Amino acid sequence: MRLSDKVNKMEFSPIRKFNPIAAATEASGVHVYHLNIGQPDIETPDVFMEAIRKFDQKVLAYAESPGLASLQDAIIGYFKPFGVELERKNVLVTSGGSEALSMVFTSILNEGDTVMIPEPYYTNYRTFIKAAAGEVTPITADPDKGYFFADEALLEASYRPTCKAIAVVNPGNPTGTILSKEDMEVICRFAKKHDLWVIADEVYREFAYDGRQMVSFGQLADYADRVIIIDSVSKRFSACGARIGFIICKNDELNSGLMKIAQGRLCCPTLEMIGATALYQLPSNYFDSIRVEYEGRRNVLYEGLSKIPGVKVNKPGGAFYMMVTLPVESAEDFLMFLLEEFRDNNETMMYAPAEGFYATPGLGKNEVRLAYILNQHDLKRSTEILAKALEAYKNR
Ligand SMILES: Cc1ncc(COP(=O)(O)O)c(C=O)c1O
Residues 192 and 332 in one domain: no
For residues 87 and 13, the model is more confident at 87
Residues 96 and 52 in one domain: yes
The CA 203 to ligand 1 mean position distance, Å, reads 7
A 10 A CB-CB count for 67 gives 23
- % of the chain surpassing 90 pLDDT: 93
Whether the pLDDT of residue 13 is over 90: the answer is no
Residues 77 and 98 in one domain: yes
Ligand 1 nearest-atom number relative to CA 101:
4
Residues 343 and 317 in one domain: yes
Q: Which of 232, 248, 272, 322 best tests ligand 1's pocket when mutated (most atoms within 8 Å of CB)?
A: 232
Q: Which of 248, 280, 312 corresponds to the end of one domain?
A: 280
Confidence category of residue 269, pLDDT binned at 50, 70, 90: very high
Q: Which of 103, 128, 234, 247 best tests ligand 1's pocket when mutated (most atoms within 8 Å of CB)?
A: 234
Whether the pLDDT of residue 246 is over 90: the answer is yes
Q: How far is CA 115 from the centre of its chain?
A: 16
User: pLDDT tens digit string along 283-315?
Assistant: 989 999 999 999 999 999 999 999 999 999 989
pLDDT of residue 9: 87
Residues 55 and 32 in one domain: no
User: pLDDT tens digit string along 318-340?
Assistant: 999 999 999 999 999 999 999 99
Residues 365 and 352 in one domain: yes
Residues 106 and 91 in one domain: yes
Rounded distance between C-alpha atoms, residue 95 and residue 167, angstroms: 20
Q: Which of 280, 295, 323 corresponds to the end of one domain?
A: 280
Whether the pLDDT of residue 156 is over 90: the answer is yes
The CA 240 to ligand 1 mean position distance, Å, reads 9
Residues 58 and 204 in one domain: yes
pLDDT of residue 12: 85
3-state secondary structure 141-207: CCHHHCCCCCCHHHHHHHCCCCEEEEEEECCCCCCCCCCCHHHHHHHHHHHHHCCCEEEEECCCCCC
Ligand 1 nearest-atom number relative to CA 240:
10
User: pLDDT tens digit string along 160-210?
Assistant: 999 999 999 999 999 999 999 999 999 999 999 999 999 999 999 999 999
Whether the pLDDT of residue 345 is over 90: the answer is yes
Q: How many domains are contained in the chain?
A: 2
Among 29, 2, 33, residue whose Cα is nearest residue 304: 33
Q: What backbone torsions phi and psi does residue 106 show, to the nearest 5 degrees? A: -60, -35
Whether the pLDDT of residue 252 is over 90: the answer is yes
pLDDT of residue 143: 87
Whether the pLDDT of residue 67 is over 80: the answer is yes
The CA 37 to ligand 1 mean position distance, Å, reads 11
Residues 209 and 306 in one domain: no
Q: Residues 251-259: what's their mean pLDDT?
A: 98
- % of the chain surpassing 70 pLDDT: 100
Which residues' Cβ are closer than 6 Å to ligand 1? 38, 96-98, 122, 169, 173, 201, 203, 232, 234, 240, 245
Confidence category of residue 213, pLDDT binned at 50, 70, 90: confident
Residues 214 and 336 in one domain: no
pLDDT of residue 188: 98
For residues 19 and 87, the model is more confident at 87
Rounded distance between C-alpha atoms, residue 54 and residue 44, angstroms: 17
Q: Which of 280, 305, 335 corresponds to the end of one domain?
A: 280
Question: The domain that contains 11 carries what CATH number?
Answer: 3.90.1150.10
pLDDT of residue 284: 87
Rounded distance between C-alpha atoms, residue 193 and residue 190, angstroms: 5
The CA 234 to ligand 1 mean position distance, Å, reads 7
For ligand 1, atom 16, the nearest C-alpha belongs to: 173
Residue 312 per-residue DSSP state: E
Among 148, 258, 149, 247, residue whose Cα is nearest residue 201: 247
For ligand 1, atom 14, the nearest C-alpha belongs to: 38
Helices then strands, counting H and E runs in the chain, come out as 13, 13
Residues 84 and 217 in one domain: yes
The CA 98 to ligand 1 mean position distance, Å, reads 6
Q: What is the residue range of 369's domain?
A: 5-43+287-394
Question: The domain that contains 153 carries what CATH number?
Answer: 3.40.640.10
Residues 113 and 251 in one domain: yes
pLDDT of residue 144: 86
